[in-house]
Amino acid sequence: MSTRNFLILVGGILAVLFLLLALAVRGEMSSGEPDVAEESPEEEPAEEQDNTEETETTPSALNLNDGPLYEVNDDTTPVFQHQSGVDIAYPEEGVKGIFVTAFSAGGERMQELTELVNNTELNSMVIDVKEDIGDIMMPLDVDNEIAQSHMYDYVNPEKLMTTLEENQIYPIARIVVFKDSRLAMERPDLSYQNSDGTVWQNGGGESFVNPFLKEVWDYNVDIAIEAAKLGFKEIQFDYVRFPESFETMSGDLTYDLGEYGDTKADEVQQRVNAVTDFVAYANEQLKPYDVDVSVDVFGYAATQREAPGIGQNFSQIADNVDIISSMIYPSHWGAGAFDFAAPDTEPYAVIDEYMKVENEVLGELENPPKSRPWIQDFTASYLGPGNYINYGAAEVEAQIQALKDNGVEEYLLWNAQNTYSEGTQYQ
């Protein structure tokens, strides 16, 4: 055999050996877990849906007892994590944010508010996605026909996220849950009905939907998931409760107790269990979307074992969220609260006294959430002479200082018109 032919033969044998080795290595690699980072975007939505279905636990699948019906399965850690593509990091110094309506976020006011955040120690915005009467304020990919019929384009979500990302403003989606006149009127069976069959309304003409019903849970969770997909880094649920003073009127209304009607729990615990279960359920359903979950609660919920009418148990809700945001505006405390005749006139002292209570309650939890209260940047003149003071920079700073003196570094400022006090030294 010539040298040339010999070399050709050896080369061919080596090529075959290398091919066999490569195939063996490829087979070994493919026998393990899939590399999620290499999955194509076209495949992600299907995996997302599969994960949701696999980890979902419904009340009907659980044993009925005196406690909550919904229980979080700690072993259902999703493999898939949705990536929105919006790169905004959690602020190192903690969230210091302002409330922003959708009208502001989608209009000319957004530039002014962006400048406020950029030129101060503020770093975050809580933006209305689903607001107080049930309107959805920006286009979302939600299949529900009722949601679609009350969906508006006040905000261009892509433009909004570009602005927030360019300015590294941490985005929080506010979703009002059980206060929802739109859904209540479209689906009276998901609300409360008077003896004449009409949908119940409060003194302001507003209606609530029923926390006992999982269909209501899913209606709101679906909206939250779409907000997370847009790039919001946190979902903040508001009005996670029954109507105020519900314990005084529940007997006069017709409504469905759902699975909770079969439990041995009394009316108060039924309401508490339903609210707590919703929070636990929403938190679990949002895990695949890499967002934090926060809940707004009345401040007074922390000062008692549970708020019997509205169904808020501070500790149980706190156990199921990443952040708890108590609404502790001095104006919202009644005369005599914390021994102050006119709490609104004592911005530092009221916040200081409240935080002592909340810190004690959270300190009893094994894994307490972050505390990020809502504080007041508005004047409550409706309280009447002697019961209020004008709020400006000094009063806002006093509240922030009270939080800091109690070890709380994060806060949110509420002003319904998004007009925040000039000259405030945020810290």
Asked if residues 354 and 339 have their Cβ atoms less than 8 Å apart, the reply is no
Crossing angle of helices 157-166 and 109-118, rounded to 10°:
20
- Is the alpha carbon torsion for 176, 181, 186, 187 positive or negative? positive
Give the per-residue pLDDT at 306.
87
Give the per-residue pLDDT at 29.
34
Adjacent-strand bridge partners of 175: 130, 237
Give the per-residue pLDDT at 37.
30
Residue-wise pLDDT tens for the chain (427 aa)? Answer: 544 444 444 455 554 444 444 434 334 333 333 222 323 332 232 333 333 333 333 333 333 345 677 666 555 555 466 777 889 999 999 999 999 999 999 999 999 999 999 999 999 999 999 999 999 999 999 999 999 999 999 999 999 999 999 999 999 999 999 999 999 999 999 999 999 999 999 999 999 999 999 999 999 999 999 999 999 999 999 999 999 999 999 999 999 999 999 888 999 999 999 999 999 999 999 999 999 999 999 999 999 988 889 999 999 999 999 999 999 999 999 999 999 999 999 999 999 999 999 999 999 999 999 999 999 999 999 999 999 999 999 999 999 999 999 999 999 999 999 999 999 999 8
Work out the burial of residue 332: count CB atoms within 10 Å of its CB; fewer than 13 is exposed, 13-18 middle, 19 or more buried.
middle
| 128 within domain boundaries | yes
Give the list of residues 6+ apart from residue 327 with CB closer than 8 angstroms, or none. 296, 297, 298, 299, 373, 374, 414
415 sits in the region (left: phi over 0; alpha: psi -120 to 50; else beta) called: beta
Adjacent-strand bridge partners of 99: 126
Distance CA 326, CA 308 (A): 17
| 73 within domain boundaries | no
Q: Which helix (H) or strand (E) holds 125?
A: strand 124-130
Asked if residues 332 and 378 have their Cβ atoms less than 8 Å apart, the reply is no
| 134 within domain boundaries | yes
| 426 within domain boundaries | no
Give the list of residues 6+ apart from residue 395 with CB closer than 8 angstroms, or none. 347, 376, 389, 421
DSSP class per residue in 202-258: -TTS--B--TT-HHHHHHHHHHHHHHHHHT-SEEEEE--SPPTTGGGTGGGSB---G
Distance of CA 343 to the CA centre of its chain: 29
Work out the burial of residue 291: count CB atoms within 10 Å of its CB; fewer than 13 is exposed, 13-18 middle, 19 or more buried.
buried
The identity of residue 298, as a single letter, is F
| 53 within domain boundaries | no
Query: What is the tally of structural domains in the chain?
Result: 1
Distance CA 53, CA 375 (A): 38
| 184 within domain boundaries | yes
Residue that the structure tokens 């700690």 belong to = 74
| 208 within domain boundaries | yes
Give the per-residue pLDDT at 85.
85
DSSP class per residue in 275-290: HHHHHHHHHHHHGGGT
Give the per-residue pLDDT at 84.
74
| 37 within domain boundaries | no
Give the list of residues 6+ apart from residue 188 with CB closer than 8 angstroms, or none. 197, 199
Give the per-residue pLDDT at 72.
60
Distance CA 257, CA 210 (A): 8
Give the per-residue pLDDT at 81.
66
Residue 256 lies in domain: 97-327
Distance CA 232, CA 243 (A): 28
Looking up residue 161, the CATH number of its domain turns out to be 3.20.20.80
Give the per-residue pLDDT at 225.
98
Q: Which helix (H) or strand (E) holds 173?
A: strand 170-176
Residue that the structure tokens 């290499």 belong to = 38
Distance CA 397, CA 393 (A): 6
User: Exposure pattern of 361-389 as b/e (b: 16+ CB <10 Å)?
Assistant: bbeeeeebbbbbbbbbbbbbeebeeebbb
Angle at CA 297, nearest 5°, toward 416 and 104?
25
pTM of full prediction above 0.85: no
